[in-house]
Structures are given as C-alpha cells and as structure tokens.
C-alpha cells in the first residue's frame, strides 16, 4: 500500500469522523455550562435558564463557540481576510484584488464573540514597511507602516453587528474595543428577523433602524446556517443593500456532490442543530442568495483545500462544504 494511498485514506476517514468529534466536543460543554449558570445566577434564576431550552442553548453555544473560535480563525482566517480585501475569485484566493473590498456602512451578521471584528479596523489596511528607507527610519525604535498594496478595501465608516445571543455580547464588546472600533461598531442585540419588526406589545425589539438600500456591504461568516426562515430573512437583508453594494459570504452549505455524502450529511443533521446552537448543515445558502433578487454579478465558489506538496483539491468526503465569494447587487 503506497504512502499516499494510506495518507489519503486517513484524510478521508478523518473528514468523515470530524463532525462526530465536533458534536462530542460540544456535548462535553453541557455539565460545565450548568455549573457556570448556577454559580453566576444563583439557584432559582439559574434553574429558570437551565429549564428554558432556548436560553440554555444560547449560553451553552456561547461557551462552546468561545472555545473553538481560535481554531476556526486559524483555519478560515487565510480565506476571510482576502475575501474582505477583494482578493477571492471563483472560490480561490488570488494575488491581486479582482473587485472592491469591504468598506463604508457594513452589516455583520451573527458576529458571535467577535472573531472577525478586527478585520473592519483601518489597521487591516496597513502592514509593516520592510523597505530600506523604512528600516533607517525605524532605527529610532518606531515601527514604520505602509498601506498594503494587495487590498481593495476602503474605510469602514459604520458597522452594525446583528447578534441576538446575549451570551456573546461581553466578548464581542471586548473584541470591538481591542480593534479600536468603539466609535463605529454598534451591537444590534436582536436577530435579523427583528431588525424592523415589532413585538407583541407593539414596541420594536430594537430601537435603531437601518434604511432600505443604505448598506454598502453585508458580511456573513458561518452564520446563515443558524438564522430562522432563511429565504425570507435573506431577502429582508437583500433589501437593505444599496444597488452596487456587496454581500461577502463564507458559509457552509448542503452537500451536492454524491448521493452518499448527501445522505451522510442529512443523517448527521438529525442531531447537529440540537448540539451546535441551531446550525443547519443541509442549507443551499448560496442558491438561496442567488435566487433572492437580481444581482449585477456573482463570484462565488467552493474553496479548495491546500495540501502541502499536492495541488489544492476539493475532497469528496467534505461533510461541511463551504462557499466563499461576493454577490454584487
Ligand atoms: C456559528 S456562529 C458564527 C459566529 C461568527 N460569525 C464566527 O464566525 O465566529 C453563528 C452565529 O449566528 C448567530 N445567529 C443565530 N441566529 C441569528 C439571527 N437570527 N440573526 C443574526 N444572527 C444569528 C448566532 O448567535 C451565532 O453568533
């Protein structure tokens, strides 16, 4: 048996087993979450949270996601940063921008604990200047910065982070402060379905407002899998985007490459949403976006996996295939 055959077999098996490991990891957070709720809130209020499936799920998912976030950032960071630079085309990261990057008024959907918040900072426009002239200037001890040549971003003037799970808010606030975005980043503490709707008492769930066609960019990173009624809510978001505005996505979607992977994914999805904060595996999110309204251009594809020593490839055993790219209205 050749080394490459055995390493490919191990790779495929780990791809197939990965969702079960992730589910198991999430389930392992249940006892700690219960303990944490009682020690933070006391017995009676704690019991109320533990007995409320939706509130318990929020706290549980908040703790679990904070734990896995650094890994997600490590794996997806090399894709999401170029995406917001305008350097992703047909699912691949390219050297030079092929379209505009993020900028202006931005709607970040489901920012969670703020894993991607620093990407909206002006600091992302700069890199260390390694030229000789800069080195001479640096002898005084100051690092010299220069504007990155490979980005087509413009200044982000306002960000609305639509995050209904209050247990993410403290960490999200810390990420906003650390990125120096306190003055422009607003946490919108409701789901996208409540951006403009009223509650039973006739009061709006969020007092602010976002006018139709007023948003320059929407950014959704691994979150459209978790929103309710995706067709309706994606269309509501589409209406907020201005003509010429861009929707940057990095989302996992339904398997469509073979009947056995479709079946396997559906099988996992019988329990996945209950253990992973309501996330649905089998959503055709890219198709829903394509069909939600007219787009001037769509540049979206499946990112290949980079394998050292081999050409990038799209594996058949991928239970969470992703789509990355930009929809321009
Ligand atoms: C898998 S997490 C991803 C978080 C973040 N984007 C990241 O990459 O770390 C999905 C996020 O979507 C949020 N979410 C769930 N329902 C939502 C809704 N109705 N509107 C907006 N966000 C929602 C969740 O609270 C959660 O923060």
What does the pLDDT read at residue 15?
Answer: 87
Question: Which mutation among 23, 77, 110 tests ligand 1's pocket best, with the greatest number of atoms within 8 A of CB?
Answer: 110
CA of 223 to the centre of ligand 1 (A): 5
Q: Is residue 256 part of a domain?
A: yes
Write out pLDDT tens, residues 70-103.
999 999 999 999 999 999 999 999 999 999 999 9
Give the pLDDT score at 201.
63
Whether 16 is in a domain gets the answer no
20 occurs within a structural domain: no
In the prediction, which pLDDT does 147 show? 77
Which whole number is the average pLDDT over 101-111? Answer: 97
Instruction: Tell whether 138 is covered by a domain.
Output: yes
Please state the length of the chain: 329
- Decide: 230 in ligand 1 pocket, CB within 6 A: no
Which atom number of ligand 1 is nearest to the Cα of residue 115?
Answer: 9
Mean pLDDT of the chain: 90
Range of the domain at 194: 71-328
- The CATH number of the domain holding residue 323 is 3.40.50.150
pLDDT of 145 above 80: no
**Residue 141 pLDDT more than 70?**
no
Where residue 65 falls (left for φ over 0; alpha for ψ -120 to 50; beta otherwise) is: alpha
pLDDT of 269 > 80? The answer is: yes
In this predicted structure, what is the pLDDT of residue 204? 76
Tell me the CA–centroid distance for residue 113 and ligand 1, in Å.
9
The answer to whether residue 306 is domain-embedded is yes
Q: What spacing in Å lies between the alpha carbon of 192 and ligand 1's midpoint?
A: 10
Ligand 1: which residue has its CA nearest to atom 23? 110
pLDDT in tens, 186-222: 999 999 999 876 555 666 788 888 999 999 999 999 9
Is residue 21 domain-resident? no
Confidence grade of residue 125 (pLDDT, cut at 50, 70, 90) = confident
Q: Angle at CA 74, nearest 5°, toward 226 and 228?
A: 5
From ligand 1's centre to the CA of 243, what distance in Å?
A: 25
pLDDT at 209: 87
Is 82 close to ligand 1, i.e. is its CB under 6 Å away? no
Confidence (pLDDT) at 174: 96
Instruction: Indicate whether residue 162 lines ligand 1 (CB < 6 A).
Output: yes
> Does any domain span residue 158?
yes
Q: Helix (H, G, I), strand (E, B), or coil: what is residue 8?
A: helix
Would 19 be classed as within a structural domain?
A: no
Does pLDDT of 7 surpass 70?
yes
The number of distinct structural domains making up the chain is: 1
pLDDT digits (tens, 9 = 90+) for 217-265: 999 999 999 999 999 999 999 999 999 999 999 999 999 878 999 999 9
Q: Does ligand 1 come within 6 angstroms of the Cβ of 69?
A: yes
Query: Using a 6 Å cutoff on CB, does residue 163 contact ligand 1?
Result: yes
E strand or H helix at 71: helix 53-85
Q: How remote is the CA of residue 175 from the centroid of ligand 1, in Å?
A: 16
Rounded Cα–Cα distance for residues 31 and 47 (Å): 14
Interval 285-319: pLDDT, tens: 999 999 999 999 999 999 987 665 566 677 888 89
Two tokens, residue 53: 């499936």
Does residue 115 line the site of ligand 1, with CB under 6 A? yes
Distances (CA, A) of 186 to 9, 138, 160, 162, 295: 47, 36, 5, 9, 28
| Region of poorest pLDDT, from 3-17, 92-106, 189-203, 265-279 | 189-203
């Amino acid at each position: 048996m050749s080394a490459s055959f055995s390493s490919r077999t191990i790779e495929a098996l780990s791809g197939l087993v990965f969702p079960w490991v992730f589910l198991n990891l999430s389930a392992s957070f249940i006892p700690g979450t219960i303990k944490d709720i009682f020690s933070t809130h006391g017995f009676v209020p704690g019991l109320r949270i533990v007995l409320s499936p939706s509130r318990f799920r929020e706290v549980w998912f908040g703790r679990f996601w904070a734990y896995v976030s650094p890994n997600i950032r490590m794996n997806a960071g090399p894709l999401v940063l170029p995406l917001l630079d305008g350097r992703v085309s047909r699912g691949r990261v390219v050297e030079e921008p092929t379209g505009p990057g993020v900028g202006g008024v931005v709607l970040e959907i489901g920012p969670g604990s703020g894993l991607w918040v620093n990407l909206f900072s002006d600091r992302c426009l700069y890199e260390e200047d390694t030229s000789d002239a800069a080195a001479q200037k640096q002898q005084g001890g100051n690092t010299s910065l220069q504007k990155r040549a490979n980005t087509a971003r413009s200044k982000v003037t306002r960000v609305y982070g639509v995050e209904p799970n209050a247990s993410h808010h403290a960490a999200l606030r810390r990420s906003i402060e650390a990125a120096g975005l306190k003055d422009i980043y607003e946490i919108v503490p409701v789901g996208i379905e409540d951006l403009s709707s009223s509650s039973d008492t006739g009061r709006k769930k969020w007092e602010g407002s976002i006018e139709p066609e007023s948003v320059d960019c929407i950014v959704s990173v691994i979150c459209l899998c978790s929103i309710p009624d995706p067709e309706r809510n994606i269309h509501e978001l589409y209406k907020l985007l201005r003509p010429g505005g861009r929707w940057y996505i990095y989302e996992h979607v339904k398997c469509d490459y073979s009947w056995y992977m479709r079946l396997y994914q559906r099988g996992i999805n019988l329990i996945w949403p209950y253990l992973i904060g309501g996330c649905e595996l089998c959503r055709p999110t890219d198709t829903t976006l394509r069909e939600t309204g007219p787009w001037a251009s769509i540049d979206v594809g499946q990112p290949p996996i980079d394998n050292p020593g081999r050409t990038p490839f799209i594996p058949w055993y991928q239970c969470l295939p992703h789509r990355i790219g930009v929809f321009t209205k």
